[in-house]
Homo-oligomer: A and B are copies of this chain.
């Protein structure tokens, strides 16, 4: 028997719904590809729902902590965010335009899991992303 706790809902305790957070969430639904915090901030500004940069940072962080958005650390060290579907998965991301293909690899998950436990590691997380140039940008 397994007990499951929805962490994203736990995190919601004491968390308020503000127009800024709503705006960030909306931006994420409207933007399809992975975007940086600054891009999302700029997008909101152009859209008329200007939100402070620090707030966008904070909101994206809490959303990712809650598991509601995916984060990828690009090769240059910058973090980019995207709304995620429920399942765990990885990405094929265009270095130039950000176009993203979602990919799944259950075998990779299992492999990462077994490797970690074999070596006695705890609190593990793994990253597996493929970067390249999409057909349009090639």
Contact = CB atoms under 8 A, between A and B. Distances in A.
Contact of A75 (B73, B94, B112, B122): B73
A128 B127 contact: yes
B116 A105 contact: no
Given A78-B77, A126-B130, A119 B107 contact: no
A123 B138 CA distance: 8
A138 to B, nearest CB: 5
B126 A128 contact: yes
A25 interface: no
Contacts of A131: 124-127
A85 interface: no
**Which 9 pairs between the two chains have the least Cβ-Cβ distance?**
A124-B132, A77-B77, A121-B132, A120-B135, A126-B130, A128-B128, A122-B138, A122-B133, A123-B133
